Structure 1
Amino acid sequence: MKKFDTIIFVVRYMKRLNVLIFILIGVSALLLISFLILLFQNITGISIGNGSENPLLNESKFFVLIIGILIIPFFETLIFQALPFYVINKLIRHKRKLWMFLIVSPILFSLNHLFNPAYILATYFGGLALALIYYIGYYRKENAILLVAVIHLINNLVAFIFRYLIGS
């Protein structure tokens, strides 16, 4: 089975799932990526930083909660998943536009997180997961923007809880 066939199989399987299971799988994928990045940091000693370079984190917890968890995921979904998907679908008439989307969207997403080079690389993988979730959500005939934004929101909420409530 070729790599492309495997992705098509995953897309077809995910199209049949209940929306809550789909969201749970999406959140789990992002949390798994975060865990693997932390594991990589601990094994290699290479740090992606703690996000302290992010100017948003210098604000109050309430401000971070409202902006970073409730608002930013929706804007980032519009800009880094919906817009590239729309543009690629309208401008490119090629069989492999899925691959183009899965390259362009995560690059744009990661370049929005310019806190340090390692963090850019780490957010690329999260952006890749969000792009794939967007693609599957679109073909599920559901509101892909809302699905991805909710999954992104939950991921940011978990990060907020670990940073401010558990980590304190």
Structure 2
Amino acid sequence: MKKIFDLLDVYLPKNNILRFTAIFIFITLVSIGTSYFLDAIFTGSVVEIRNINEEKNIFVLFLGLIVFAPFFETLIFHWIPVFLYSYYKINSKYDLLFIFVCSIIFGILHGVNIVNILSAVIVGFLYLLFTMYYEYKGKNYFFVIAFLHLFNNLLAFLYYIL
């Protein structure tokens, strides 16, 4: 993982705002790309959720997806596991396995359909990769990852209600 983190240091901007923006754009493009790609493979899977605005109050949906979920999920799926993983100093050769297992759990719990599960696994992997990167750098990452998640959810929310 150290080699991956060193590469991120080389290619990511040094300015924190630019770094956040670059990570956000990358995760957003991957999220949108995987959703469309997986939707093409599993034709019609996303259609089930597009009627979400007819089924629930938009305000309640907004609160859940944009206000509560990103912070709660960042705490449960990213901050606590990475904190425990780092605290107990588990051998670094298991870093990718750790990220992969946490990503699968993250994806399964987003399980509306196969497209959402697989997209969430991929995006969850990226969230955890950047979480581990910030942990490796000794920086506070909770709000960075939570806001990345919030903006990603906001884009998904706007996509599904429009």
Using the size of structure 1 for normalisation, the TM-score is: 0.79
User: Does residue 35 in structure 1 map to residue 32 in structure 2?
Assistant: yes
Does the aligned pair in 2 maintain the 1:56–1:68 contact within 8 Å? Answer: no
User: Does residue 76 in structure 1 map to residue 97 in structure 2?
Assistant: no
Does the aligned pair in 1 maintain the 2:99–2:128 contact within 8 Å? Answer: yes
Which range moved further: 87-96 or 8-17? 8-17
Map Cα deviations across residues 74-114 of structure 1 (whole Å, 9 max, x no partner). 00001111111122223453132422332122112112112
Closer, same or farther: CA 86–132 of 1 in aligned 2, 3 Å: same
Q: Distance in 2 between matches of 1:57 and 1:126?
A: 27
Does the aligned pair in 2 maintain the 1:73–1:149 contact within 8 Å? Answer: yes
Q: Distance in 1 between matches of 2:47 and 2:36?
A: 14
Q: Distance in 2 between matches of 1:122 and 1:108?
A: 12
Partner of 1:49: 46
- Determine which of 145, 149, 154 is the counterpart of 1:152: 149
Partner of 2:103: 106
Give the gaps of 5 or more residues in structure 1. none
Q: Distance in 1 between matches of 2:2 and 2:34?
A: 27
Partner of 1:23: 20
For 1:89, what is the secondary structure of its paired residue?
A: helix
- 1:14, CA displacement in angstroms? 6.3
Partner of 1:95: 92
After TM superposition, what 4+ stretches of structure 1 lie above 6 angstroms from structure 2?
53-57
Partner of 2:7: 10
For 1:154, what is the secondary structure of its paired residue?
A: helix
User: How many correspondences in the alignment?
Assistant: 162
Closer, same or farther: CA 53–84 of 1 in aligned 2, 3 Å: farther
- 1:48, CA displacement in angstroms? 4.0
Larger RCO (CA within 8 A; separation ≥ 6): 2
Does the aligned pair in 1 maintain the 2:131–2:141 contact within 8 Å? Answer: yes
- Determine which of 129, 135, 141 is the counterpart of 1:132: 129
